[in-house]
């Protein structure tokens, strides 16, 4: 969606928000699928309430894009203005056994920065792509670790109140790949309470997780990680594999040969290709196992 009203453009600029016109969004997502839209890059969190109030007043629908690693965007001109937080030069601040992290920070780099300061616990999250904010929103996890376990406090823009609020970790419900944040809340910064450990010990844990991940996941291909959540007590990847669906494709959307719960953009896949593949695989799993798989990837329907 394009912003063309000169008054609105001037008001946005006055807030210190950068307005990028007609940005191609596919490169901003790990699936590399998606069309174009105007992008508003927010440098100061404090600008958010007023920015969103302006967009609402102008009747402009908007959506917030984080690290883009767990989202499937539509093609063509998107029906929303896209908001994104600017990356900061110093996005992790260590204070004793805790780290104050900007939500635009890369999750992997955050884990290593904390490690270098002898703060561990999050080793399992090392290869999880995306931003800290995205990881928080969905309570990202791997190898027995989930980010929610380390959250002491989160600063969040709450769409319901139009204000920036601070929530204590205990006030947030962190479940398997799900949290109590509203879909239109925007994570701004988080204080993580970590475990004091020697760097060498943390590094060893990181290496083990990296090796496991490299051995089982298609890390060099365009994907959104696992496409489905695991059903209670089961494994979506194993079921899809048992159905012989590795390599199964719709257009350029393909079930990975390495891990069957990773769906790959093998070239120029569209959202429609990916959605058809998701529906087809879900139907086959339902027919064979009587299990209804739920998407982990967040689908933006245009």
Report the interface residues with ligand EPU, using CB under 6 A: 142-143, 216, 225-226, 229-230, 235-238, 241, 259-261, 296
Closer by beta carbon to ligand EPU, 158 or else 248:
248
Sequence-distant (6+) residues with CB within 8 A of 183 are none
Shortest distance, position 152 Cβ to ligand EPU, whole Å: 24
Task: Report the distance separating Cα 212 and Cα 210, nearest Å.
Answer: 6
70 three-state secondary structure: coil
CA distance 106 to 187: 14
Where helices occur in 43-82 by DSSP H, the ranges are 48-57
The nearest distance, CB 263 to ligand EPU, in angstroms, is 11
Nearer to ligand EPU by C-beta: 64 or 228?
228
Query: Measured from the CB of residue 148, what is the shortest distance to ligand EPU in angstroms?
Result: 14
Q: Considering beta carbons, is residue 114 or 125 the nearer one to ligand EPU?
A: 125
Q: How far is the CB of 139 from ligand EPU (least distance, A)?
A: 10
- Kindly tell me which of 36 and 69 has the beta carbon lying closer to ligand EPU: 69
Structure letter (DSSP) for residue 228: B
Query: Which positions ≥6 away from 162 have C-beta within 8 Å?
Result: 49, 52, 53
Contact 277, 206 (CB under 8 A): no
Least distance in Å: CB of 16 to ligand EPU?
35
Q: Which is nearer to ligand EPU, 40 or 107 (CB)?
A: 107
By beta-carbon distance, which residue lies closest to ligand EPU?
225
DSSP strand pairing (71-72 vs 298-299):
parallel
């Amino acid at each position: 969606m394009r912003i063309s009203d000169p008054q609105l453009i001037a008001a946005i600029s006055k807030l210190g928000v950068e307005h990028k016109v007609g940005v191609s969004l596919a490169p901003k997502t790990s699936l590399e699928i998606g069309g174009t839209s105007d992008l508003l890059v927010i440098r100061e969190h404090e600008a958010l309430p007023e920015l969103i109030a302006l967009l609402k007043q102008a009747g402009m629908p908007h959506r917030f894009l984080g690290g883009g690693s767990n989202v499937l965007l539509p093609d063509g001109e998107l029906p929303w203005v896209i908001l994104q937080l600017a990356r900061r030069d110093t996005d992790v601040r260590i204070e004793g056994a805790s780290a104050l992290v900007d939500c635009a920070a890369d999750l992997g780099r955050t884990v290593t920065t904390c490690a270098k300061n002898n703060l561990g616990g999050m080793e399992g999250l090392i290869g999880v792509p995306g931003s800290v904010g995205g990881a928080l929103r969905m309570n990202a996890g791997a190898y027995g670790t989930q980010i929610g376990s380390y959250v002491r406090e989160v600063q969040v823009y709450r769409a319901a109140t139009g204000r920036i609020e601070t929530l204590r970790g205990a006030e947030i419900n962190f479940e398997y790949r799900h949290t109590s944040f509203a879909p239109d809340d925007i994570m701004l910064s988080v204080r993580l309470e970590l475990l004091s450990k020697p760097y060498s010990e943390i590094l060893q844990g990181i290496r083990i997780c990296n090796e496991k991940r490299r051995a089982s996941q298609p890390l060099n291909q365009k994907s959104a990680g696992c496409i489905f959540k695991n059903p209670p007590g089961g494994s979506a990847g194993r079921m899809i594999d048992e159905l012989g669906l590795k390599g199964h494709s719709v257009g350029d959307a393909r079930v990975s040969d390495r891990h069957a719960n990773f769906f790959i953009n093998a070239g120029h896949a569209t959202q429609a290709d990916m959605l058809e593949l998701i529906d087809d695989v879900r139907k086959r799993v339902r027919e064979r196992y009587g299990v209804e798989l739920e998407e982990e990837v967040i689908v933006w329907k245009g």
